[in-house]
Amino acid sequence: MLDSRLFERIRVKKQALDALRPLPTAAVRRLQEQINTEWIYNSNAIEGSTLTLQETRLILETGMTIGGKSLREHFEVVNHQKAIDFVESLVRSETPVTPFHVRQIHQLVLTQIDDKGAGNYRQLTVRITGSTHMLPEPWDVPGRMADWEQWLHGEAQSLHVVARAAMAHHKLVAIHPFIDGNGRTARSVMNLLLMREGYPPSVIAKAYRRQYYRVLAQADRGREKPLVNFVGRAVEQSLTRYLEACTPRSEPPAEEQRWILLREAAEFSNYSQAYLSLLARTGRLEALKRGRNWYTTREAVATYEQSVTG
């Protein structure tokens, strides 16, 4: 399901990361803190939280109360960190992932926000505004979750882990087993499956919320490839960050391997900056987003050119 270029880059980067193990403890701890903060911020922001990344970091690091922000938004941050801690404990366990674990993650996400619903399947019929996807009735949820578990430990095992994690996440969202907190829970389960296979956690950015909902809707209609590639691009971004942080370097990288802005790449390539941006956003060109800017390398542009001409 993964685009062949994206699949190959993920394969090579995962192999390179595995070759570096054991990873430097200090670098990993620092990077984990950064990615976990971004995971919490973006996952909550997708669901409507108005907290900024910096405010999220302050709450996590100091327990500070942010003026003008709701108590719920503060609980969403603290709860999400507890859910991540639990996910990390499951990563170290060999116990198969089950609907019970999904409910435990959800309980942590919704504690003190909706104590009655936290960890419990919904008892009400719900509809998603603006979507034609029909959610199962509440009495069907336990059976659908049992089907999810059977799929996860059966048919899904033949899939690449990125596809398996992306589709497991979609199937949970499509069941919508809880009244609230389904997205945050499903994204945590996605990262649990990735991390168990040695991948770093991946962040679905708030900036791509529209695209995220669009690929989920396409998966509802049976077109799962766009979602798998969407998640794959997030996986590649995390792998790149880990490699940058954990690779020992005694000298600067070669010129063709240095990250450069897309406008610089457009100056020596046959493509415009706009087209390079499209290639980066769709995963066809190896690229890394820092802040609002996309970066690539001369080597990545040459590899893409070769793939389309050769």
Residue 176 annotated to the active site: yes
DSSP letters spanning the chain: ---HHHHHHHHHHHHHHHHTPSPPHHHHHHHHHHHHHHHHHHHHHHTT----HHHHHHHHHH-PPPTTS-HHHHHHHHHHHHHHHHHHHHHT--SPP-HHHHHHHHHHHHTTT-TTTTTS---S----TT--PPPPPGGGHHHHHHHHHHHHTTGGGGS-HHHHHHHHHHHHHHH--SSS-HHHHHHHHHHHHHHHTTPPP----GGGHHHHHHHHHHHHTT--HHHHHHHHHHHHHHHHHHHHHHS--SSPPPGGGS-EEHHHHHHHSSS-HHHHHHHHHTTSS--EEETTEEEE-HHHHHHHHHHHH-
The residues assigned a catalytic role are 176
